Structure 1
Amino acid sequence: MDIGVLGSVEAWHDGVRLPVGPPMQRCVLAVLALRAGDGVPVDRLAEVLWGEDPPGDARGLIHNYVSRLRKALRPAGVDIARRPPGYALDVDPDRVDVHRFRDLVSRAHRAGSDETAARALTEGLSLWRGEPLAGTTGAEALDRLRTGLAEEQLVASEKRAEVVLRLGRQQEILGELVELSAEHPLREKLVSLTMLALYSCGRQAEALGRYDETRRVLAEQLGLDPGDELRRTHERILRAETTPAAEPESRRRPNSLPFDVPGFVGRQPELERLVTGARAGRTIMISAIDGMAGVGKTALAVHAARRLAPRYPDAQLFVDLHGFTPDRDPVEPAAALDALLRSLGVPADRIPAGLDQRVLVWRTEMADREALLVLDNAVDADQVRHLIPGAPGCLVLVTSRRRMPALNGAVPLSLDVLSEAEATALFTGIVGERATSAPEEVARLVEVCGRLPLAVRIAATRLQHRPRWTVADLVDRMRTERTRLPGPDADHDIAVAFALSYRYLKADQQRTFRLLGAHPGTDFDPPAVAALTGTPVSDTRDVLELLVDHHLLEQPATGRYTFHDLLRHHALALVATDPERPTAVHRLLDYYLHVTTRATDLLQPGRRQLDPPVTHVPDHVPDLRDNKSAMSWYATENRNLLAAIRHAGRHGFDEHLVLLPRNVGHYLVINHHVEDLMAIQEPAAEAAHRLGDLAAESRSVYHLALTNYMSCRYRTGLGHAARCLAMARELGDESGESWTLGVMGLLHYRLGDLVEALDEHRTAMGIQQRLGDDRGQAICTANAGRTELVLGNAVGARPLLEEALALSRKIGDVNEEASNLTTLGTVHSGLGDPDTAIRYLSAGLELAREAGNADYTVRGLVELADGLRRAGRASDARDQARQALHLLGHGRSPDHLAEAHNAMGAICLSEGDETAAADHHRQALDLAQRIEYRLEHAHALNGISAATGDAEYRARALAHYEAMGIPGARPVG
């Protein structure tokens, strides 16, 4: 037997259509088929048939419809079972077209290739025979079911269009896209795909015309501009950057491989093994390259990766795991996964906190990618194991000084020193004629270098920069240097080359190389090095380039410099006895304090100003002009800044340990680096206490309270806030008191103490008004408005949010402006003005995205989804909620995840899908209970009650609402 709802509602048995009755009876069959095998409550059937005004004998009518359907389906051996509080259609879901369709769509998303995905989607879409649920009659709930099914078809059509375009078969899909985008002119995804298809078919003018028309319609009907994806497509077509097989920009294809080694020589057998292995098949390939320090492991891995990159088009990633980096701890697997996921474009809020959850997200992201991954400088197999993608089609190259027999599936490749011929070729390729004319001396020199590539390169470069020397002169000097250095080990040969190369540098070059050993970070740029050395940045650039020329520094990317581990060790040994080291470190920390103050002022305009105690004012700093440039600088320097904070703690720079986290912390908040926040704020508070600076300690404890709020540890946060409030009052610091009351209000809000939260926000607001602090007043006023809104006072919330919006615009704080626009949209939803609500909500979301604020972007998506649902636009609401859930992923931000699940549950309920609604609300309940987020706990209980008809959940929800001071019956969502 087969049942169809993707078109007219019908049933067939052995090719014969069964008589399933008139429209309302067909409606009963459709609702039962949509939940095949599961019980459907009688009340739900009545709602779909008659809405809120069922006839008095509704249950009897439903019983009659079911009886007739049983009789009609009996020849096929199918029954409708009585399953209190309703009925269940006992049929295999695979016999119902909608369930087959959903299974095929799911297969497409799991497919390992576009060809397979296209076949599955084509097969699934072929099941559609017209408008879903045709031939049925019912109430508004039936229309919602029909709309939801049509949305599923549309999403699948978009996905099929994407993969077919990637396969270069644009002609196949163009007609369908033109028709669909004409039916749905405000659906930007469809318009973007249609533009790509038109352009790929040589119809550029039509593609651009389609964009202009869509922009006009969006402006006229919604007052909106085109979104990011549509604008990007338009720009690509204008610049002719897309091709017939162009993929819509749905995910990043990053390449973080370092520059290839110039003049790479030798290693042909090893290189051939790597290349041949990569070509051998579609299973995941892991090659573990081991060997002594300086033997050329990284050089071989990067050279092979560059050669193989075209075979792995989806991503080429490089991570230095610092397994043997002097003065650095090896990178923890969780931290490495955080960096890898961010490089793939995974938003901060979607990266979970725990290692196991990060592994899951990483392997999910890599599941259908053909990617190449270089894991450099690993300490052991345990550090690497969690970073291996789980799907075929990937190549992983691992380098380490140790062999890794415990790394399952890895093909080992041990590197020895270069052969004499390879070492000679490397040396000769750099030096040129002077080497070819003295083959015996070259042979002696490469032996002095131990035939280690790094030592040979440095020696050759030394000779290249000494035009009057002969090869024999260089050999003599290296032999002399050798007698000065102790130790017969393998590193000794490299140390000889280092010492000789360093000896013949000019004094300013020696000083720069030596002081770089005091830099705590992983890499550095000219302004930071200029600060470290106290020299003009133009001179610093010249010195850095000369050190690169001498192979004493590496340049992994334009404008960025770093050490080989052995050279870092050498620089550390040199700077250890340099009396200038403490002053140099002080200059560097002052530089970071100066620049982070400027960058954070741009991210937090109007913030409370504190003049940093900078002893050494840098003469050159990065050109930071706006939110975007500040975010970009922080993204590049974040690891170095965290290392500088740790270094300040280890070496007694307590003032910097207190002040740097205040600046850096704001960037970490925006990007949801909660673990890093906790790691820097606690030492900052301890340092302030050691300094006896109560004001600094108060600020640090405030940031601890805020960090605990972010990490959903609300009761711990309240403890810190209470301590901070006492210190602020002891100091007579009204501003500090106000900010602390604000964070206490946030914490009490989450714990459900809404009346107390409102009182704290209003008290804080009054203080800030009296002090004339526009930023503080904007934030406190906005928080008071949000709390009024939740307490049911939308009318009172509106002027507060409008005032907060005006203040945030006055000081130019785009982050708070985005937040206030979003909340004002929710206010207008509560006031029954959906059009105005959606304008505000859309504008807030757009601004949060532009600012790069992951936290506000997710909140914007959730609130826009709820606003669209309230406006009766369930399919659009579902799109936004799905995006929020996708961004949040697994485990990270349980507060926002609870909000998103409750929003999606309300949307599912509005579409008549009680099972999905209950599932989302139960997930929200679990999250909210775990973190004591009482408001979302109550919403989840209320949603479960609405989805299941269980009055106990409703009673529990009402008890929570009453305890929080929320009046009346709370609507779902």
Structure 2
Amino acid sequence: MPGDEETQHLRFHLLGPVRAERRGQPLVLGPPQQRAALAVLLLRGGRPIGTAELVEALWGPAPPVHAADTLCSYVARLRTTLDLPVVATDTECAVRVPAECVDAAVFAERLAAAATAKADGDVAGAHALLTAALDLWEGDTALTGLPGPYAERERRRLDEARATAREDLLECALALGQHAGAIADLRALVTEHPARERSRALLMLALHRAGRQAEALAVFADAQRVLAEQCGTQPGAELVSLHERVLTDDPSLGVPAAGPARPAGGGTTRDTTRGAAEGLPPRPADFSGRRDLVEAAVAAVRAGGLVVLEGANGVGRTAIALQAAHALRDAFPGGRHFFGLRGGSDRPLDPSTALTCLLRELGVRDGALPEGTERQAALLRSLATGRPLLLVLDDARDAAQVEQMLPGCAVIVTAATGEVELPDARRLTVDVPEEKEALALLSAVSGAVGTGAAARAAQSVVTACGRLPLALRIAGARLAGREFSTLADLADRLREEAGAGEPVEAAFRVGYEALGAECARALRLTTVADVPAYDGATVAAAADLPGGAKHGDAVAGELVAAGLWERAGRGTYRCHALVREHARRLSERTDGEEAREAALRRVVAHWSSSPGAAGPFPGVWGGGLVPAAVALLGVWSERLAGTAAHDVLRRPAEEALARAAEAGDGAGVAGALRVLAVPRCGADTLDRCERLLRAAVRWAEAAGDADGRLAAGRDLGGVLLAMGRGEEAVPLLEPAAAAGCPRALADLGLAQAVAGRMDRALKTADEAVARTADDPQAYVLRQAGRTWLRAGRSTTAADRLRDAVNAASSPREEALTSAYLAHCRLDQRRHREGVEAADHALSLEAGLGDAYCRGLALFARGRGLLSLGESRIAAGCLREAREVLGRRGAGEAADVEGLLREEFG
């Protein structure tokens, strides 16, 4: 037996394939059964084991006849042939080596030390110890390939210990504020162990802290499905508690200031109704009467969940829906959300755009939006599963607009009479209020009805307003503002105006004429940007108010007091569609195109400089304001590029293109073409994008638009790079890179690498990363990683790609980067890790519909499986990758084709 000093140079590896080495040189451990015997002896930590017990450990309760003799030969070889420290007698044997020589023992020691550090409040120390413990593992499972019941039991124990250690490590990471970087690892852990509730709780917490509440709630919905299918159970109390706390935005879920992490699913449950009305405008302060309709709507929601309130514009459908939604507060702690569909406008939201916008309203980030209405509808259903959620879908055009937006939760739809026929819906007709209720509303708004002559005058006002609540609010506000001294004066004026149009228009003119010049101008010019709600800063930008957002809020408050606007929430305001229509027509007559164009440009400039300010998607362009409309589309296109949400810009971009061409606006044509040319995430073709961008370059050049030419050239360079045409892409990307665009610089580095200019490429890639050092961008890091990979520098490439995964702000970015990381691992000959990374990318892509990501991940999976000897499955992956990437026109399609020819002829 070797001496103690020699024993110190032995190393035994059980956390993965079983192997041993002495002074760094591998030892041949013999057949699987002999390796299993060694593993048993090592895992006992030097304690002797009886011969009979060892036989049972290797062969179970029914060993072969000569099992004892075979065992003796194994022990003899371990002691003599391999020169291992085995102590054996006729009845028992043991292997005695220091604990630090066996990786499983070191793993256990580091876990214990980490637990002590965490208990003492040293989260960073615990994190470091857990990292060191997990670094000992060399495979997916311990004791890989060893036979026997003992090995099977120990494999399960060690694998469970590893999964728990990974959870402990990631919980420490969350306690240290590293929630963004932990998301990718937590998703991988949940994929590997879908029934582990603690892993899901940690992922939900990380997503919630990263501001991705909708994704966090989707994790819970998926847990319900998986646990029901695989275990026949429902989530436990801790996961349910966490779900409830995420729903209500519990402040205790925030990043702790210091100390050990709080258990993700623990803690007490707070008031579940707090914050539930986020996304729901306040109830109208002057609402009166209509109690029967409100009660009927509440009862219908409680009974069946789907209610349609139908009636003419201005009769108060929205006000009744909001009253009902507020009355249902306690029944829907999961949230109550209001969403306008613009069905009564000349440009209602199309069903696809409406669904996309609703998901954004519910907190789904653009990078997490799936491609296509079917996947988006499935995500909506997932978000609503098990969640007490109420949606108010206001001003629907028809059934087709809303049918994909009915996720199984409670929904109140408002619509024009007879326009929305939905099965299983309770239909409630909203008519104009009775005269008594209309008088009560007028009194609530104005404070002046009285008796006698005043009462008769009030009846005249109600009649002139057609008993429409919208008209009554506007008219009543004029009395409250003392613009009319008596009800009789107001009634006379309304009768005069009524001869020129319908009641709401008459009331609008009366209300508008009482406004000061500043408020009147703001009311008119805010119509250039047709969005569901305005904030003070947008009002100030549209009307060119000198005091900024504060001044804008003051003006908006006056419009609310005048009954022309309503409060949509804290610091936001909305305008009824009928009022907006009248105000826009008035602006077109009064302000003229030049002033309206300038107003929209100011709004676009404000949104461009304030990343979160653009809020909803653009819809109506306010007449012929082509240049500013194209600029607005450009702002949104930059923000939504690479996401499924970008497709909502297609229709307005097509309209802007037609208007620009009709007006002979070459710069506008080029800008609209750039928006239309952005590659979609689905099965889009890059040759389509190339054609549109080459046309954009020509139009911009002809118009003398240098900025537009630079931007179109940069976009074209990116598309050519994606097609594998790096040499052509370089001169197109160089000007934009020189102008200081980090993304263009990162693209240029990769294009230089594709063109074979490796030294220049690596310098360019590093420069792009350095420029974004203070604000790491997943795109820049990913392109830099691809550049280093092209140069054959897979270690640096892996570092860049891992950083890109950690910087990813959405599942789409994470999926695509994981696919590239899979190829990097394969180049490092870490084939199993490459396949795992590819599978992770595919699991994320399954809910997104990103065809390019799928093709890239399938390519990596096929490469990895080929190297692991699974050629039949690999061939299927590669053929599917060839089809997907080839249909898109991606440069990688040629690489897949080459590999298929090489391996399969």
Normalized against structure 2, the TM-score is what? 0.63
> Counterparts in 2 of 1:182-201, with a 5 A limit?
190=199, 193=202
CA positional deviation for 1:679: 4.4
Separation in 2 of the partners of 1:846 and 1:230?
24
Gaps of 5+ in 1: 1-21, 28-64, 70-130, 163-176, 198-228, 600-623, 625-629, 946-951, 957-973
> Counterparts in 2 of 1:769-788, with a 5 A limit?
778-785=745-752, 787=754
Whether the aligned pair in 1 keeps the contact of 2:309 and 2:429 (CA below 8 Å) is yes
Could you say which residue in structure 1 is the equivalent of 2:684? 712
Could you say which residue in structure 2 is the equivalent of 1:639? 617
Separation in 2 of the partners of 1:316 and 1:898?
39
Separation in 1 of the partners of 2:714 and 2:497?
65
User: Match for 2:324 among 304, 307, 325?
Assistant: 304
Could you say which residue in structure 2 is the equivalent of 1:895? 852
The alignment partner of 2:426 has SS state of strand
Whether the aligned pair in 1 keeps the contact of 2:746 and 2:783 (CA below 8 Å) is no
CA positional deviation for 1:585: 0.5
Could you say which residue in structure 2 is the equivalent of 1:954? 903
User: Match for 2:392 among 336, 351, 374?
Assistant: 374
Q: Deviations over 1:310-340 (max 9, x none)?
A: 3233342222111113xx3111111001112
Separation in 2 of the partners of 1:831 and 1:706?
28
| Residues 230 and 697 of structure 1, relative CA distance in 2, 3 Å threshold | same
User: Match for 2:487 among 457, 474, 477?
Assistant: 474
| Residues 845 and 738 of structure 1, relative CA distance in 2, 3 Å threshold | same
Could you say which residue in structure 2 is the equivalent of 1:387? 405
Which moves more between the two structures, 674-683 or 686-695?
686-695
Separation in 2 of the partners of 1:837 and 1:692?
48
Could you say which residue in structure 2 is the equivalent of 1:409? 424
| Residues 717 and 447 of structure 1, relative CA distance in 2, 3 Å threshold | closer
Whether the aligned pair in 2 keeps the contact of 1:26 and 1:135 (CA below 8 Å) is no
> Counterparts in 2 of 1:411-430, with a 5 A limit?
411-430=426-445
Q: Deviations over 1:270-293 (max 9, x none)?
A: 22222223333xxx6210101222
Whether the aligned pair in 2 keeps the contact of 1:739 and 1:764 (CA below 8 Å) is no
The alignment partner of 2:617 has SS state of helix
Separation in 2 of the partners of 1:399 and 1:425?
24
Could you say which residue in structure 2 is the equivalent of 1:803? 764
Residue 821 (1) aligns with residue 832 (2): no
Could you say which residue in structure 2 is the equivalent of 1:34? none
CA positional deviation for 1:848: 4.2
The alignment partner of 1:633 has SS state of coil
* Aligned pairs, number: 700
Whether the aligned pair in 2 keeps the contact of 1:868 and 1:877 (CA below 8 Å) is yes
> Counterparts in 2 of 1:448-847, with a 5 A limit?
448-466=464-482, 469=485, 473-486=486-499, 492-517=502-527, 519-537=529-547, 540-578=552-590, 580-595=591-606, 599=608, 624=609, 630-634=610-614, 636=615, 639-640=617-618, 643-644=620-621, 647=622, 650-651=623-624, 653-656=625-628, 659-669=631-641, 671-679=643-651, 706-707=678-679, 712-723=684-695, 746-751=718-723, 754=724, 757-764=725-732, 778-785=745-752, 787=754, 797=758, 800-807=761-768, 809-810=770-771, 818-825=778-785, 836-847=796-807
Whether the aligned pair in 2 keeps the contact of 1:289 and 1:397 (CA below 8 Å) is yes
Separation in 2 of the partners of 1:930 and 1:740?
24
CA positional deviation for 1:301: 0.8
Could you say which residue in structure 2 is the equivalent of 1:289? 309
- 2:888 is matched by which residue type in structure 1? I
Residue 931 (1) aligns with residue 891 (2): no
Whether the aligned pair in 1 keeps the contact of 2:142 and 2:159 (CA below 8 Å) is no
Separation in 1 of the partners of 2:895 and 2:258?
49
Separation in 2 of the partners of 1:550 and 1:365?
39
| Residues 478 and 236 of structure 1, relative CA distance in 2, 3 Å threshold | farther
Q: Deviations over 1:207-240 (max 9, x none)?
A: xxxxxxxxxxxxxxxxxxxxxx999753399899
The alignment partner of 2:599 has SS state of helix
| Residues 25 and 135 of structure 1, relative CA distance in 2, 3 Å threshold | farther
| Residues 739 and 440 of structure 1, relative CA distance in 2, 3 Å threshold | closer
The alignment partner of 1:303 has SS state of helix
CA positional deviation for 1:800: 1.6
Separation in 2 of the partners of 1:590 and 1:785?
37
Which moves more between the two structures, 405-414 or 897-906?
897-906
Separation in 2 of the partners of 1:414 and 1:302?
16
| Residues 401 and 677 of structure 1, relative CA distance in 2, 3 Å threshold | closer
Residue 266 (1) aligns with residue 250 (2): no
Residue 342 (1) aligns with residue 388 (2): no
Could you say which residue in structure 1 is the equivalent of 2:412? 397
- 1:380 is matched by which residue type in structure 2? D
CA positional deviation for 1:516: 4.5
CA positional deviation for 1:461: 2.6
CA positional deviation for 1:400: 0.9
Separation in 2 of the partners of 1:513 and 1:709?
39
Could you say which residue in structure 1 is the equivalent of 2:339? 319
CA positional deviation for 1:787: 2.4
| Residues 919 and 188 of structure 1, relative CA distance in 2, 3 Å threshold | farther
CA positional deviation for 1:509: 3.6
Whether the aligned pair in 1 keeps the contact of 2:276 and 2:335 (CA below 8 Å) is yes
| Residues 427 and 153 of structure 1, relative CA distance in 2, 3 Å threshold | farther
Whether the aligned pair in 1 keeps the contact of 2:768 and 2:780 (CA below 8 Å) is no
The alignment partner of 2:508 has SS state of helix
Q: Deviations over 1:128-161 (max 9, x none)?
A: xxx989895389xx99xx89995999599989x9
Q: Deviations over 1:247-271 (max 9, x none)?
A: 9xxxx99932222211432222222
Separation in 2 of the partners of 1:729 and 1:570?
40
Q: Deviations over 1:48-83 (max 9, x none)?
A: xxxxxxxxxxxxxxxxx9xx99xxxxxxxxxxxxxx
Separation in 1 of the partners of 2:335 and 2:831?
36
Q: Deviations over 1:806-846 (max 9, x none)?
A: 1453478957x533433444566688877655432232233
- 1:351 is matched by which residue type in structure 2? L
Could you say which residue in structure 1 is the equivalent of 2:80? none
Could you say which residue in structure 1 is the equivalent of 2:818? 861
Separation in 2 of the partners of 1:188 and 1:799?
49
| Residues 919 and 797 of structure 1, relative CA distance in 2, 3 Å threshold | same
Separation in 1 of the partners of 2:252 and 2:828?
26
Separation in 1 of the partners of 2:726 and 2:850?
24
Separation in 2 of the partners of 1:135 and 1:725?
59
The alignment partner of 2:892 has SS state of helix
- 1:299 is matched by which residue type in structure 2? A
> Counterparts in 2 of 1:7-26, with a 5 A limit?
none
Separation in 2 of the partners of 1:581 and 1:422?
41
CA positional deviation for 1:429: 3.7
The alignment partner of 2:255 has SS state of helix
Whether the aligned pair in 2 keeps the contact of 1:352 and 1:358 (CA below 8 Å) is yes
Could you say which residue in structure 2 is the equivalent of 1:275? 298
